[in-house]
């Protein structure tokens, strides 16, 4: 299931908003719903409300939403992660799955138990074969076990591998074993000194990652919509850059929709996948289009993937300046010193000025 169209009239802050959420003309997936969507916009433009409208599959006189369903899928669900702290309550009877509620641990335990049971069963079966079948060698046994392991994902290892690729940057390593029943029981190792630290002691960013990614891996969504509000919370830029790929790697054939304030997250989206909400002159919300004329890939004039971070901030996030007033002042000073040097005779005074110039040049990052 993927959302492909949304029309909202007179609902919350939206007086009239139409969103075509399909790939444009000329794209290899032309007309199909977008695989991933990045919602950006100033505070108050309704990013979270948009996520909630999709989450609740709202459809009434004010809202028309069109979801494209897979013909035969039985897995279609909606997963939602709010920007709030994780809830530890299990909330039943909801139309959507709250990624960060405590239900996922139950599911994770079931999956672990299931994996262990299946593995034991298979090991027993092969052991019997080894005993009673003279032609079946020890090497065959090892090969069969390896084959089974490659075909059956060990969820604990997979979670640890994926998360560790990121949290290694914070000098941390995660170990999950079958006795882990909650976040508090996770084994997190501080790689700088080998100490084990408690979940409560790790950074807010690490907690955010663990409390969203572990449940998502447990649910292993398929043909579903995954909604994540502010995935960048408490993450350093280098981690923010990896989040889209990380969440896209979860499950199969899902539509990932994120609402974000992060230019680095926006930079991993194709231009048609960015829904930028803005206020018009009458303070009404509209979607800024990055194309002129027909919605065709050839008509797009902005592509976040091709911009520098500064350009993303200025062109997409509408930042008015690209640096501080101090930098501006110092750049002028830099130019003045340069002019002075050019007009000076060779000698100690000029050399001193050059040293001053070079120091300022380094401070301004002009030698990068």
Partner 1 sequence: MKKIDKSRVLSEKYLSWMKELKEEHPRYSSSHKYIKDIKMNLLYCQNGLCAYTEELLCDMELIEPKHWSNGRYTTELDNQNLINGDIEHFDCTLKEKQGYLWDNLFMVNSNINCRVKGTKTINPILKPDSTEYDAFKYLEFDDKLNMFKPNKQLSDKDKKDVLDMIETLGLNSNAFKRAKQIKELKEDFEFDLDLKEPHEYITSWKMTLKNLKGE
Binding site for partner 1 (CB under 8 A): 281-282, 310, 314, 320-322, 325, 328-329, 331-332, 334-336, 339, 343
Task: Identify which of 236, 247, 231, 246 has the alpha carbon closest to the alpha carbon of residue 171.
Answer: 236
Judging by DSSP bridges, how do beta strands 187-190 and 196-197 pair with one another? antiparallel
Rounded to a whole number of angstroms, the minimum distance from the CB of residue 19 to partner 1 is: 24
Rounded to a whole number of angstroms, the minimum distance from the CB of residue 324 to partner 1 is: 11
Contact 273, 299 (CB under 8 A): no
| Residue nearer to partner 1 on the CB measure, 177 or 292 | 292
Q: How far apart are CA 212 and CA 254, in angstroms?
A: 16
Centre a 10 Å sphere on the Cβ of residue 15 and count the other Cβ atoms it contains: 15
| Residue nearer to partner 1 on the CB measure, 138 or 320 | 320
Burial class (CB in 10 A: 0-12, 13-18, 19+), 53: buried
Rounded to a whole number of angstroms, the minimum distance from the CB of residue 225 to partner 1 is: 35
Rounded to a whole number of angstroms, the minimum distance from the CB of residue 328 to partner 1 is: 5
| Residue nearer to partner 1 on the CB measure, 191 or 332 | 332
Centre a 10 Å sphere on the Cβ of residue 44 and count the other Cβ atoms it contains: 12
Contact 292, 301 (CB under 8 A): yes
Distance between first and last Cα of the chain? 47
| Residue nearer to partner 1 on the CB measure, 161 or 322 | 322
Rounded to a whole number of angstroms, the minimum distance from the CB of residue 349 to partner 1 is: 15
| Residue nearer to partner 1 on the CB measure, 142 or 335 | 335
| Residue nearer to partner 1 on the CB measure, 201 or 339 | 339
Rounded to a whole number of angstroms, the minimum distance from the CB of residue 160 to partner 1 is: 44
- Sequence-distant (6+) residues with CB within 8 A of 317 are 40, 263, 266
């Amino acid at each position: 299931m993927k959302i492909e169209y949304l029309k909202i009239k007179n609902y919350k802050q939206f007086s009239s908003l139409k969103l075509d959420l399909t790939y444009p003309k000329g794209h290899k997936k032309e007309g199909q719903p977008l695989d991933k969507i990045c919602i950006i916009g100033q505070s108050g433009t309704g990013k979270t409300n948009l996520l909630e409208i999709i989450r609740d599959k709202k459809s009434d006189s004010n809202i028309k939403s069109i979801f494209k369903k897979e013909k035969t899928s039985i897995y279609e669900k909606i997963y939602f992660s709010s920007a709030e702290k994780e809830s530890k309550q299990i909330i039943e009877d909801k139309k959507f799955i709250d990624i960060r509620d405590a239900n996922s641990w139950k599911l994770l335990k079931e999956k672990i138990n299931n994996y262990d049971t299946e593995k034991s069963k298979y090991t027993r079966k092969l052991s019997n074969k080894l005993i009673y079948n003279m032609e079946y060698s020890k090497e065959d046994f090892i090969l069969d076990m390896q084959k089974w392991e490659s075909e059956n994902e060990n969820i604990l290892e997979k979670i640890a591998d994926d998360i560790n690729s990121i949290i290694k940057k914070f000098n941390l390593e995660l170990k999950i074993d079958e006795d882990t029943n909650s976040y508090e029981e996770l084994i997190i190792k501080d790689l700088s000194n080998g100490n084990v630290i408690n979940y409560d002691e790790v950074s807010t960013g690490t907690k955010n990652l663990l409390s969203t990614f572990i449940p998502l891996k447990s649910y292993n969504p398929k043909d579903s919509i995954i909604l994540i509000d502010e995935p960048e919370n408490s993450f350093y830029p280098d981690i923010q850059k990896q989040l889209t790929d990380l969440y896209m790697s979860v499950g199969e054939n899902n539509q990932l929709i994120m609402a974000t304030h992060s230019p680095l997250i926006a930079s991993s989206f194709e231009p048609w996948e960015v829904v930028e909400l803005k206020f018009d002159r009458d303070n009404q919300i509209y979607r800024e289009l990055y194309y002129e004329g027909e919605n065709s890939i050839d008509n797009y004039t902005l592509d976040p993937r091709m911009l520098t971070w500064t350009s993303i901030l200025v062109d997409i996030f509408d930042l008015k300046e690209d640096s501080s007033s101090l930098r501006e002042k110092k750049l002028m000073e830099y130019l003045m010193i340069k002019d002075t040097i050019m007009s000076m005779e060779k000698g100690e005074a000029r050399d001193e000025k050059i040293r001053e110039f070079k120091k300022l040049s380094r401070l301004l990052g002009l030698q990068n």
